[in-house]
Chain A
Amino acid sequence: MTDVAVDISNVTKMYGSFTALKDVSLAIQDNEFFTLLGPSGCGKTTLLRTIAGFEDITKGAIRLYGDNIADLPPNKRPVNTVFQQYALFPHMNVTDNVKFGLLRLGQDEATASARVGEVLELVQLTQFADRLPSQLSGGQQQRVALARALAPNPKVLLLDEPLSALDLKLRQAVRLELQQIQHETGITFIFVTHDQEEALTMSDRIAVIADGRLQQVGSAREIYEAPSNKFVADFIGETNLIDVTVTDISNGNATCTLPSGATFTCPAADGAQKGAGHLSVRPERVAMTKPAKSLLQGKASRQIYLGTDMHVEVTLDDQEVVTVRVQNSETTHIPSIGETVGLNFEAGAARLLVD
């Protein structure tokens, strides 16, 4: 049991009659980079704030290495937060900001100063120790916020969309840095984001949340390649949702009828049922061929240029649109608008979802 860092069991959070979290249960492992991913307003930040202690929960329990912390105030919980707007104390310099938590824990000045030196080195800000937050760039402020939260050596570090205020290039660099720091410190990170790319590249495991409910928990590969429901498939990356009629499900495989009338067998998500359903096929896993030998047929209706790749939208006979991703190279044949094309994908590329 000790290898579970944060155990969230059956947590429900109500604001008046609005339910922000519905019966969420989640076990976050020790030394894990765990991401809460979902669209804005889905409850991911609320969940993080219940762990930090800024929101109390209506029902359920939150255990930190076995101890129930749900009723403790934030200053009694051995977790620290990196806030979205950083919340650096504007009247204190970098050193005093980082030292704040250490002094409140009762460390003496010398011990605290030594620790400040350590963490500033970790985030490479040693030469900025005397600056005020307003004299730092956004990226530097973000690192101070990280250093301040890491300094007291929390059991769990909570990060509330800490990269959302940075520009793209910086965000990509900081992602790697954050991962590196998580490895070096061995502290459990719980990271909140609405950016799926961020989640996929950084996390050991991801929990996808929508409407206050947990949708799926798994590694980046699992949730991308084996989404359990329509929401997850649609939210993580891009996907084609193809209407099918499921005729049989056995041993985790579904046999279904495609819009073209062809019969197709592919893996099914747990809980998928017979009848009308949706197949998820990623645009990069769909191939264009001659119509005669294909699963689906349609007319190319739109081309979208993406730089390295190109999206070709193919409108099927029943007016459904399937997107195909093809590499931009001189050898690939890009169908012109109106050209009839056939679409093929392998059984492993498709997945029957729970609606």
Chain B
Amino acid sequence: MRTSIMAGVAAGTLLAAGAAAPAFAVEDGKADLSVLHGIPGLTVDVYVNGALTLDDFAPGDLAGPLSLDPGTYSVALTASDAADDSAPVLGPIDLPLAEGMSYTAVAHLMANGDPTATLFTNDISETASGEGRLTVRHTAAAPAVDVWADGAVAFSSLENPNEMMADLPAATYEAAVSLAGETDPVLGPADVPVEEGSNTIVYAWGSAADGNLALAVQSVATHTGMPAEVSAGTQGLAADGDAVPVGVIVLGAAALAAAGLATRAVLVRR
């Protein structure tokens, strides 16, 4: 019991300093990694540091997030019937993961159609109250594109393998992708929810030449603030009366009896 009281005192000290501790989106001392498969027509096995980690990983699949120790991981993709990672179809590549960060590793096509892998860092910084984050990533064998939200260009001339992002009022947006400077969608429109305290990430993947462009989406939690207090009463009607000084009781009773609730309501803020 004494321990818990001390913990409370410590927390109160934080409040006194005016700092409400944030809630971190990544576990203390760890890194988060998601893996997205964005190469059409190729089911693979994923080896991490030589060990089979994802079996029969299919195009459009999203794995994770995995909570990992910080460090550099070697990732190789093989045919799905391979016995080991000695003959990878992609990689091995090194993924350096730093503590407290969120990543998505994407196996995808370059603009010219060759397969590659890109390690994206997901922005998990805190969003403003009422806002969420939208990130768009071009991982398709296609030229530069414009990304539309609710009928207007939100991100223009996005090229493979780049990303753009914005914090928007939390809502569901009708998203579409056109070739840069054009208006006919090559992808979408699709409803994409953007929620407070999260980063919704939209990928264009596949190949324009092969006619298999597609959208993939994921969402990761951002850091958030936490309330420093809960002030949950306005009238004193549910108070413990027994230990209140006599004067307070008399005053309170007099106020209730003489003024009445309706009058008190006028006096009370909110």
A binds B: no
Interface residues of B (CB under 8 A from A): none
Interface residues of A (CB under 8 A from B): none
